[in-house]
Chains A and B, each alone.
Chain A
Amino acid sequence: MQQRWGLPIVAWPTRLRPTYWDGIALPLVLGSIVLIAWASRQMNVPYRIGEMLPLSLDPLYLPEYGLRTVLRMALALAASLTFSLAYAALAAKSRRAEKLLIPVLDILQSVPILGFLSITVTGFIALFPGSLLGYECAAIFAIFTSQAWNMTFSLYQSFISVPADLREAARMYHLSPWQSFWQLEVPFALPNLVWNMMMSVSGGWFFVVASEAISVAGQDVKLPGVGSYIALAIEQRDLAAVGYAILAMLVFILIYDQLLFRPLLAWAQRFKVEAIGGDEIEPPWFLTMLQRARLFDLLRSLFDHAAALLSLAAKRAAPRRERLPRLRLAEARWVDLAWNGLLLAGAFYALLEIARFVQSEVGPREVLHVLLLGFVTLVRVVVLIALAAVFWVPVGVWIGLRPRLAHRVQPIVQFLAAFPANLFFPVAVAAILRFHLNVEIWLSPLMILGTQWYILFNVIAGTLSLPTDYQYVASNLGVSRWLWWRRLVLPGIFPAFVTGAVTASGGSWNASIVSEVVRWGNDTLVATGIGAYIAQETDKGDFPRIALGICVLSLYVLLFNRLLWRRLYLLAEERLRLD
């Protein structure tokens, strides 16, 4: 009778009767184990600084390069996941830690991702002398920084909004803190986490490409991967190779999407507390395979057993926490004061250090100059987002009003957002050179090349979610075109638009570092801006100036977010929500 519930249980022999799906599953599992092992070994080959890594533009090598790029991505994703679980749990559990951790996270997500690379690469190299591992770590770390922050925010947000009744039920039925973390908090956070992971990975492709060809202080290392392949193609002005790389990347992203995120998204549906009707996701083929193939049943029951053992061990190891000694309020307040004092003192000290650094290393005039450069980039970002909005909002609404079309277009747009736009830069540069275009103007669109899709994507989603009733009312009342936009559509899609624009603007700031300086063979095009400043100083290896550039850029992003986006966001939340 145990068969009835379709649950993986210990009755292995009957449960493990192979199905057709096993025919696909088995080679897949074994193959990936071999591939991962091989690619990992490549990471730790001996390496002396200055040595040229063998890299070829032969497209036959692209699958190998692509695999290594994908592996870097996977490692970064695993690291991000681990980090975000720990960080978010700490921030959500400890009121005092929260006070420091959350603002820090907010600032970290404003720091340009390639800035992290510029700063940390030397440290990582020193960590693993004589091996490529240091460079690999630096590249992976850069990808990590492009993913970890928003995943952490999403987890934290979920952890603090676990419904009170579920928490009470968990306590009432004596789940240990460890058990309720894995059985309540993490499952509750999963749907949002998976969504954010997917978004993160979309952004990550851009940086994985940008971070493989590391060039710091004259040292030029190209880790085997699609990004390096492109860099080499640029050096050798090989437009065909650029095309191959774009093609290869296309395939790899498609595979990632099909094998990882489509199944994950569909699977995460079941963790939603409120079943939101209508948006049921069709189970993707890969998930079907995972659920049908007996091989995975075996893996899963092994995993379940391990989890159960771990949980039991954690319960035994943990001291009996049933009667938590409650701190007296006065005592807690005293600790609070001390903690606040400590934070303030730390902030003050940091401020002093920064002032001294500016005085001695760069001088106030340089600071002013960089601030000005930042302003130029700011103007670029604002103008580009505005242009993108003017163009994509009508298009998005048009698509969104046709649900059938929208459901076909959405995956494509999502895919476009994930595609690393920097792969297209060489094409653009070649065009600029060819037609002698103004660099200051024509380099700018590169910043938004990859990020504009977020606006389109969200506008479509926003239009889709506009209740049809509203449209009936509008047409029933004979609301004319312009009034229809002002009274119905624009307010209706505003929250979605803001979400898209925030993402797009954040991405554009990040892209400025790679898009304000671009090369094609020996030609280098430079547009004025803080991104170009950081890129050039990174080439020279002038660390104080890199730091200055990154700090100023972060400051701009932070202020821009606080003064503009967050306000719009709150407005959207408060006034224009549909429910």
Chain B
Amino acid sequence: MPDDGRLIYAEKVCKTYQTAETPGRLVLDHVDFSLREGEIVAILGKSGSGKSTFLRVLAGLTPPSEGRVAYRGQIVEGPAHGIAMVFQTFALFPWLTVLGNVELGLEAQGVPRAERRHRALKAIDLIGLDGFESAYPKELSGGMRQRVGFARALVVNPDVLLLDEPFSALDVLTAETLRGDLMDLWVERRVPTKGIILVSHNIEEAVEIADRIIIFGSDPGHIRAEIPVTLLRPRDVTSPRFLQIVDEVYAILTTVPGREPGRRGARGAETVGVGYRLPAASIQQLVGLLDAICAPPYSGRADLPHLVESEHIEDEALFVLVEALQLLGFAQVAGGDIWATPIGRNFAEADLQTRKQIFAEQLRRSIPLAAHIRKVLDERPGHSAPEARFLAELEDHLSEEEAAEVLETMINWGRYAELFAYDYDRGVLSLENPT
């Protein structure tokens, strides 16, 4: 492949996960992507959209099933020298000190001891860890640990830095500080790194950092939208232009494709099949969010970024909840706003028993899996059925783990609505509640 200033180039990348029993399940579908020199690209998407998998394909940690990835014109066939990665979970070796962890990559390359030490100390200095050289990771706070993660990546002087949700395991304040420090290094050109790819689920973070935002869609993972961010650095997170981009990204991420309001006939049951990957939303949070939307100051309609701030929800959790509210017909979303439907308002105003009735009704009307389970249970003579049966049906559409997760969500919703009961010990769904 030609070397044309593109650091990383991915062409028609597909990834299929195949196990011995099940036929392949597509998680990435023809993704084209490139990272140019001097650029920071953020990849956003809901959980399960394959964005992390895609990053691992780029890193050479997992091969693509189809298509190809090149780094500086060379096909990537394994972790390439020149690409470093920072992990969400830090991935530090607990038995090595800070210094040992930072030296690890150099040691593996066979860099002589003295040079190794010198470079490691420089990286530790750069990232603001001096004084902690001899500490073990377990002595450090999350923020300091991730600094070690960055130092370990930077010490090998990488061309490309891959960041896999590096700030999401940190509290807001710590994340902000570390992000700021990283941007300073980048803007002041104090690191030789020429390109950064950041996988994130924090929209504001992406808009703050990236030159370009790529939004992944789910099932299978694909690129749904690309938004250039041309704001000058340092970026003012309160400027109207900034907020407008944030809104735009929220709008894309919270709309279920094909279910945009105004498109008549796009009712739940038709686009959502039995094997739909239900968002794993907890009842408590669903109800809480709907109550918040219906109550003042929003009184039925809310701006999503505002809602995130006032209700202290993470973006990732918000996507899950918003999708669930939409699926259940309690709310609708467009243009970065969410508003309660009449049913949603009824629900918010009702007492506990009525809420359960409304919820049950919406489940049967809008969630095909719920309707299906209820139908099976109604028809079976003993009004009970093993969960394995439904799991098997779900596994036609989803991976084993996803199927289990979807059924768990379904059971939670069903129990709340008293649509059916579930016996954990026997793994049986039934219409009877314990007497």
Contacts and interface: CB of A to CB of B under 8 A. Distances in A.
Contact of B99 (A7, A183, A315): A7
B33 interface: no
B79 A174 contact: yes
B77 A172 contact: no
Interface in A261-276: 270-273, 275
Contact of B133 (A5, A165, A270, A326): A5
A275 B145 CA distance: 14
B93 A174 contact: no
Contact of B93 (A168, A183, A312, A326): A183
B97 A5 contact: yes
A173 B89 contact: no
Contacts of B97: 5, 7
Interface in A1-38: 2, 4-7, 10
B136 interface: yes
Contacts of A183: 93, 104
Interface string A164-177: 01101101111110
B81 interface: yes
Interface in B88-112: 88-95, 97, 99, 104-105, 107-110
Contact of A173 (B99, B104, B134): B104
B207 to A, nearest CB: 27
A434 interface: no
B218 to A, nearest CB: 22
A57 interface: no
Contacts of B374: none
B187 interface: no
Nearest to A575: B425
Given A174-B105, A183-B93, A272-B94, A323 B77 contact: yes
A176 B108 contact: yes
Given A174-B81, A174-B105, A166 B95 contact: no
A489 interface: no
A175 B93 CA distance: 13
Interface in A295-330: 312, 315, 322-324, 326, 329
Interface in B58-106: 59, 61, 63, 77-79, 81, 83-85, 87-95, 97, 99, 104-105
Residue among A172, A190, A323 with most chain B CB within 10 A: A172
Given A4-B134, A272-B94, A175 B89 contact: no
A12 to B, nearest CB: 14
A184 B136 CA distance: 15
Contact of A187 (B81, B93, B134): B93
A273 B94 CA distance: 6
B365 interface: no
Contacts of A271: 94-95
A215 interface: no
Contacts of B61: 168, 171-172
A173 B105 contact: yes
Contact of A172 (B59, B93, B133, B138): B59
B93 A6 contact: no
Q: Helix, strand, loop or mixed for chain A's interface?
A: helix
Given A7-B99, A172-B79, A184 B93 contact: yes
A208 B146 CA distance: 50
A179 interface: yes
Contacts of A172: 59, 61, 79, 83-85
A173 B156 contact: yes
B138 A173 contact: no
Contact of A174 (B56, B87, B109, B134): B109
A326 B78 contact: no
A189 to B, nearest CB: 11
B39 to A, nearest CB: 21
Nearest to B156: A173
B364 interface: no
Nearest to A171: B79
Interface in A331-376: none
B401 to A, nearest CB: 14
B152 interface: yes
Interface in A545-564: none
A172 B149 CA distance: 12
A184 B87 CA distance: 17
A132 to B, nearest CB: 42
A324 B85 contact: no
Nearest to B59: A172
Interface in B107-162: 107-110, 113, 117, 133-134, 136, 138, 152, 156
A183 to B, nearest CB: 7
B17 to A, nearest CB: 13
B110 A270 contact: no
B77 A322 contact: yes
A166 B91 contact: yes
A322 B109 CA distance: 13
A165 B134 contact: no
A187 B137 CA distance: 15
Contacts of A10: 113
A165 B63 CA distance: 17
A18 to B, nearest CB: 23
Contacts of B109: 174
Contacts of B18: 329
A168 B95 contact: no
A412 B157 CA distance: 54
A324 B79 contact: no
Given A4-B134, A187-B93, A323-B77, A169 B87 contact: yes
A168 B91 contact: yes
25 contacts: A4-B133, A5-B99, A5-B133, A10-B113, A166-B93, A168-B91, A169-B87, A169-B92, A171-B61, A172-B79, A173-B84, A173-B108, A173-B152, A173-B156, A174-B81, A174-B105, A176-B108, A187-B93, A270-B94, A270-B136, A271-B95, A322-B77, A323-B78, A324-B78, A575-B425
Given A5-B97, A169-B85, A322-B79, 7 more contacts: A4-B134, A7-B134, A172-B59, A173-B104, A174-B109, A187-B93, A312-B110
The 6 A-B residue pairs with the shortest CB-CB distance, nearest first, are A173-B105, A165-B91, A169-B91, A5-B134, A275-B138, A175-B108
